[in-house]
Amino acid sequence: MPTEETTAIKQILEREYPKSHVRSVRFLDKGYTSKQWVADTEDGRLLVKAPQRDRNPAHLRRLVASARTAAEGGIPVVRYRNLVPHEPALGGPVLIQEYQEGDAASDVWESLSERERSVLLADLGEVTGRLHSIAGPHFGDVLGGNQTASLRESIEAEVEALLPGADAGQTGPADALRSAFARAVAELDESASVPALTHGDLWLPNILVRDGRITCVLDLEHAAYADRFRDFGKLDEHIFAGFPEGRAVFLQSYAATFPLPADWARRAELAHALHALNMHVYFRRWTPQFAPEYAQQLRDWLARNG
């Protein structure tokens, strides 16, 4: 039996695409921050997403713009069809995109052999290198918001925006963190501090695969022009912490596509600290039991860099 929501999705599609017959709509039980439905239409299968946490249409416009920029750089991404800024029946925006066949890498990872994982990570290194080779006109939002002219200004602004949401009793004093981040940036080779298109949420659930090879990079809603090693925070935590032997495979493929600067390891360590601060603040809001883990990572980093 169709639910009220699936009926609403069907009506939205019929309104937006009156010449394309909608054969069926089914709920897709996937995704962390949105509800999703798959629709079979005369023009092919569509995926319809209704965000549940961040319902600001600007957030989705950033996603669409980021995917378009990535596609222009040769990155395999989703093609978006339409953005409805506010749909009364669902109480928020709705995004309509082409449905991509395949499996999330996270769903097949455990079943892969070491060799198959290495093949997948070589693909990921090459795709990530191509993504990061897309240069940005500034540091900040792909749509032009929160612009800064330098990496120092960008990180300073980000840290200042995050610190009010952090628990200083867990992370360490705010002034100590400010100083440590400032010193870490000052130690970098300024000539290599150029804005690059970063994914912002790069891990196995956002990589689509078929037959063990990457076919699509998903969900660029957190993409930004930043130091390219920002993506290493999530990669190292969620992939290479559990499969450390794969990091060398990834790096070799990445460097062959986009050579590493001499200070890349320091940049990756800075990325880990910024990732920890972001995740600490994020989880304090949504699932507080995970926040102390990232606070501990920050304290460890501060002990090394304070």
Q: Do 68 and 167 belong together in one domain?
A: no
Residue scoring higher pLDDT (293 or 58) = 293
pLDDT, residue 53, reads: 80
Q: Is the pLDDT of residue 35 over 90?
A: yes
pLDDT, residue 63, reads: 92
Q: Is the pLDDT of residue 262 over 60?
A: yes
pLDDT averaged over every residue in the chain:
95
Q: Do 140 and 155 belong together in one domain?
A: yes
Contact between 13 and 93 (Cβ < 8 Å): no
pLDDT, residue 52, reads: 85
pLDDT, residue 182, reads: 97
Q: Do 300 and 255 belong together in one domain?
A: yes
Q: Do 141 and 254 belong together in one domain?
A: yes
Tell me if 15 is assigned to some domain: no
Q: Is the pLDDT of residue 1 over 80?
A: no
Q: Do 147 and 269 belong together in one domain?
A: yes
The Cα 36–Cα 41 span in angstroms is 16
Sign of CA dihedral 29, 34, 35, 38: negative
pTM: 0.92
pLDDT, residue 31, reads: 67
Can you say whether residue 32 is alpha, beta or left, with left for phi > 0 and alpha for psi between -120 and 50 degrees? alpha
pLDDT, residue 6, reads: 94
In this prediction, residues 249-275 reach a mean pLDDT of: 98
DSSP state of 240: I
pLDDT, residue 3, reads: 86
User: 19: buried, middle or exposed (CB in 10 Å: 19+, 13-18, 0-12)?
Assistant: exposed
Query: E strands along 59-190, which residues?
Result: 80-87, 92-98, 103-104
Q: Do 264 and 141 belong together in one domain?
A: yes
In this prediction, residues 279-289 reach a mean pLDDT of: 96
Tell me if 82 is assigned to some domain: yes
Contact between 253 and 126 (Cβ < 8 Å): yes
Q: Do 26 and 154 belong together in one domain?
A: no
Which of these three, 72, 98, 124, is where a domain ends? 98
* Containing structural domain, residue 164: 103-305
In this prediction, residues 112-121 reach a mean pLDDT of: 98
pLDDT, residue 297, reads: 97
Number of structural domains in the chain: 2
Q: Is the pLDDT of residue 155 over 70?
A: yes
pLDDT, residue 2, reads: 67
Q: For position 84, which CATH number holds?
A: 3.30.200.20
- Summarised one tens digit per residue, pLDDT across range 182-239 is 999 999 999 999 999 999 999 999 999 999 999 999 999 899 999 999 999 999 999 9
Tell me if 7 is assigned to some domain: no
Closest among 182, 175, 158 to 276, alpha carbons compared: 158
Distances (CA, A) of 217 to 71, 74, 163, 185, 204: 10, 11, 31, 29, 10
Tell me if 12 is assigned to some domain: no
DSSP state of 239: I
* Burial letters 277-305, b for 16+ CB under 10 A, else e: bbbbbebbeeeeeebeebbebbbebbeeb
- Summarised one tens digit per residue, pLDDT across range 44-102 is 999 999 998 888 888 899 999 999 999 999 999 999 999 999 999 899 999 999 999 99
